[in-house]
């Protein structure tokens, strides 16, 4: 029967544009609905505007959101957080006792329904689907109990994926906080300067700034913790000096990125010759900006692949393992570290370090994650972009090599866990995507 007969509610906010703010109620837009989930919101509406804006209907936990254009057919499910709905988003709620919402989320991602969506779409420039056409989608679902069993299996995989992503977000936030304290706020250096001025021990002041422990507790640390902490604190200067980009610790300097690494740019073979591209696992992973989304500190996946022939014929640069990637066209400032060899398109720069580098890939990643790319300006009149020369000249703060090494030792356990959990997410995702069509079609039965 048609989709509308399965629905208790269809909420559509197309044709309306909310006034956006820098904070407030998160706005679910089409661009953050990806791969079955909602990424971190980038836009908001004011708290006091929520009730007026959401007059067509308030979304509830469990509701399914569907993008209707740009792109068409992305699906996710709302949790209990309060959100607003933007244009190009339709919210669907199954009838109680007839349709399980979690099952609906997975069903909408299936190939047969995606083909119906695109078959009923229209538009010469941007493909989209009208609500009147969406309502006509022909859906055949099993009994509610069967829906719930299928949703339980696929949902448990989604839950494990979500847990891993949340843990990785926490771990990366911890790594970024350490980097910011050491190399942006210069907390250990400033602690030493203050201690000198007050007649206290500068080394212990820096140890307190690094560990977060008060001075009185430092002596209670076991030797295997006290000694490394003291050694790390000793590596920070106890003076600041003026640089062309502001005050920095004495002896440190800003240098151009190309002096620290071989900065290369990716390449795209001619799109009019589709034989060079495939969406199936081919010879080479070929990464574009859309692949560098949230939760991808280590770049492990790509949505497209290139053949060996394409790499050879068009001289596409191979990016080595553990190389920092940076997007600098259209979307400026996405950063990742390659996990294994890969390729990229021309919107992504690669920072290939030498065999004896002055900084590590992890240091450069964290530095670029916190960099203000708006300070570079834009070198394109058409889109947000900077040119490759600007990227090569990008200023990078260079501390002592010993301190960079110490940062790596401090963060290594966190970064290794992030990499491991990302690999687990990839495996779980592949398992879910393999099971999904088999469970929905009934090819795989689910015991009661």
The pLDDT tens digits of the residues spanning 349-358 come to: 999 998 889 9
CB-CB contact of 75 with 33 (8 Å): yes
Mean pLDDT to the nearest integer, 280-298: 85
- pLDDT tier at 379 (50, 70, 90 boundaries)? low
DSSP lists the bridge partners of residue 385 as 329
The answer to whether the bond into 71 is cis (omega within 30° of 0) is yes
Residues of the chain with CATH 3.90.220.20: 3-141, 254-398
Helix (H, G, I), strand (E, B) or coil at 300: coil
Q: Is pLDDT above 80 for 445?
A: no
Mean pLDDT to the nearest integer, 49-62: 88
Q: Each residue of 117-136: pLDDT tens digit?
A: 999 998 877 889 999 999 99
User: How far apart (Å, rounded) are the C-alpha atoms in residues 419 and 109?
Assistant: 27
Q: What size, in residues, is the chain?
A: 448
Residue 378: per-residue pLDDT: 63
CB-CB contact of 396 with 369 (8 Å): no
Residue 382: per-residue pLDDT: 46
Residue 384: per-residue pLDDT: 65
User: How far apart (Å, rounded) are the C-alpha atoms in residues 263 and 281?
Assistant: 27
- The percentage of residues in the chain with a pLDDT greater than 90, rounded to a whole number, is 76
CATH 3.90.220.20 is right for the domain spanning 254-398: yes
Mean pLDDT to the nearest integer, 317-329: 95
Look up tokens 């926490």; give the residue: 170
What are the distances in angstroms from CA 253 to CA 18, 246, 256, 269, 370? 45, 11, 10, 39, 17
Q: Enter the tokens of residue 132.
A: 């009147």
Total Cβ atoms within 10 A of residue 413:
10
Mean pLDDT to the nearest integer, 363-387: 79
Mean pLDDT to the nearest integer, 306-327: 94
CATH 3.90.220.20 is right for the domain spanning 3-141: yes
CB-CB contact of 49 with 19 (8 Å): yes
Mean pLDDT to the nearest integer, 196-219: 95
Residue 448: per-residue pLDDT: 64
Answer with the residue of higher pLDDT: 292 or 376: 292
Look up tokens 């995702």; give the residue: 429
- pLDDT tier at 295 (50, 70, 90 boundaries)? low
Q: Is pLDDT above 50 for 161?
A: yes
Mean pLDDT to the nearest integer, 358-370: 96
Q: Is pLDDT above 90 for 281?
A: no
Q: Each residue of 214-262: pLDDT tens digit?
A: 999 999 999 999 999 999 999 999 999 999 999 999 999 999 999 999 9
């Amino acid at each position: 029967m048609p989709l509308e007969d399965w629905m208790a509610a269809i909420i559509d906010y197309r044709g309306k544009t909310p006034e956006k703010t820098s904070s407030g109620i998160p706005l679910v837009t089409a661009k953050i609905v990806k791969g079955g989930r909602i990424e971190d919101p980038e836009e908001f509406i004011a708290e006091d505007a929520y009730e007026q804006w959401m007059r067509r209907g308030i979304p509830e936990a469990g509701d399914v959101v569907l993008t209707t254009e740009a792109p068409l057919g992305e699906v996710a499910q709302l949790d209990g957080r309060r959100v607003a709905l933007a244009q190009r988003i339709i919210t669907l709620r199954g009838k109680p006792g007839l349709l399980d919402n979690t099952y609906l989320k997975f069903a909408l991602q299936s190939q047969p329904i995606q083909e119906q969506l695109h078959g009923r779409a229209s538009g010469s420039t941007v493909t989209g689907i009208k609500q009147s056409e969406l309502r006509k989608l022909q859906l055949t679902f099993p009994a509610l109990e069967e829906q719930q069993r299928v949703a339980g299996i696929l949902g448990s995989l989604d839950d494990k994926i979500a847990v891993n992503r949340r843990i990785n977000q926490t771990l990366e936030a911890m790594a970024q906080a350490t980097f910011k304290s050491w190399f942006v706020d210069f907390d250990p250096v400033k602690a030493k300067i203050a201690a000198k001025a007050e007649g206290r021990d500068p080394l212990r002041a820096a140890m307190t700034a690094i560990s977060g422990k008060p001075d009185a507790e430092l002596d209670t640390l076991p030797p295997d913790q006290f000694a490394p902490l003291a050694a790390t604190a000793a590596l920070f200067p106890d003076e600041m000096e003026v640089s062309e980009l502001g005050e920095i610790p004495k002896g440190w300097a800003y240098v151009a990125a190309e002096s620290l690494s071989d900065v290369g740019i990716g390449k795209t073979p001619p799109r009019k010759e589709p034989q060079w591209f495939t969406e199936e696992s081919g010879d080479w992973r070929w990464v574009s900006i859309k692949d560098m989304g949230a939760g991808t500190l280590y770049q492990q996946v790509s949505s497209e692949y290139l053949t060996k022939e394409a790499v050879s014929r068009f001289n596409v640069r191979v990016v080595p393992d553990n190389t920092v990637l940076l997007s600098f066209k259209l979307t400026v400032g996405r950063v990742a570290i390659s996990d294994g060899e890969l390729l990229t398109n021309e919107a992504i720069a690669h920072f290939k370090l030498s065999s004896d580098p002055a900084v590590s890939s992890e240091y450069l990643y964290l530095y670029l994650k916190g960099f203000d790319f708006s300070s570079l300006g834009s070198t394109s009149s058409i889109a947000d972009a900077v040119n490759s020369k600007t990227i090569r000249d990008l200023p990078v703060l260079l501390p002592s090599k010993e301190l960079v090494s110490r940062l790596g030792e401090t963060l290594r356990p966190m970064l290794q866990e992030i990499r491991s959990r990302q690999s687990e997410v990839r495996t779980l995702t592949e398992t879910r995507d393999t099971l999904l069509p088999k469970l929905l079609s009934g090819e795989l039965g689910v015991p009661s």
